[in-house]
Amino acid sequence: MTSAPTFNPPPPQVDEHVLISFPADNILLVTLNRPTSMNCISTQGHVQLASIWEWYDNTSSLRCAIITGARLPQKRAAFCAGADLKEWDSTAGRARPQAGGGFAGLSTRLGKKPVISAVHGICFGGGLEAAGNTDLVLAHKESLFALPETSRGVVAIAGLLPRLALIVGMQRASELALTGRVLSAQEAQSWGLVNEVVEGDVVERAVEVARKIAGMSPDSVIVSRAALRGAWDGVGVDVAATRVEKGIWKQLQAGPNIQEGLRAFVEKREVKWVDSKL
Amino acid 76: pLDDT: 86
Mean pLDDT of 7-19: 93
Amino acid 5: pLDDT: 85
Q: H or E stretch including 50?
A: helix 43-57
Question: Residue 39 pLDDT more than 70?
Answer: yes
- Which residues 6+ apart lie within 8 Å of 133 measured at CB? 102, 106, 107, 108, 109, 159, 160, 163
Residues 102 and 25 in one domain: yes
pTM of the shown model: 0.93
Helix (H, G, I), strand (E, B) or coil at 196: strand
Residue 123 pairs with which residues in a beta bridge? 80, 145
Domain count, the chain: 2
Amino acid 112: pLDDT: 95
Q: Compute the Cα dihedral for 40, 43, 44, 47 and give only its sign.
A: positive
Question: Residue 88 pLDDT more than 80?
Answer: no
Residues 67 and 158 in one domain: yes
Q: What is the mean pLDDT of the chain?
A: 92
Which range (22-36, 96-110, 195-209, 247-261) has the least confidence?
A: 96-110
Rounded to an integer, what distance in angstroms lies between the CA atom of residue 156 and that of residue 51?
22
Residues 108 and 139 in one domain: yes
Instruction: Give helix then strand counts, H and E, for the chain.
Output: 11, 10
Task: Tell me the Cα Rg of the chain.
Answer: 19
Mean pLDDT of 98-120: 92
Residues 73 and 107 in one domain: yes
Residues 136 and 225 in one domain: no
Question: Residue 2 pLDDT more than 60?
Answer: no
The domain of 88 spans: 18-214
Angle at 153 between CA 151 and CA 155, to 5 degrees: 95
Residues 131 and 47 in one domain: yes
Preceding peptide of 256 cis, ω within 30°:
no
For the chain, the first-to-last Cα distance in angstroms comes to 28
Question: Residue 137 pLDDT more than 60?
Answer: yes
Read off the CATH number of the domain in which 25 is found: 3.90.226.10
Check: CB of residue 230 under 8 Å from CB of residue 241: yes
Residues 38 and 143 in one domain: yes
Amino acid 242: pLDDT: 87
Amino acid 181: pLDDT: 96
Residues 208 and 231 in one domain: no
Helix (H, G, I), strand (E, B) or coil at 25: coil
Between residues 42 and 4, which one has the greater pLDDT? 42
Binned at pLDDT 50, 70 and 90, residue 245 comes out as confident
Residues 145 and 31 in one domain: yes
Question: Residue 46 pLDDT more than 60?
Answer: yes
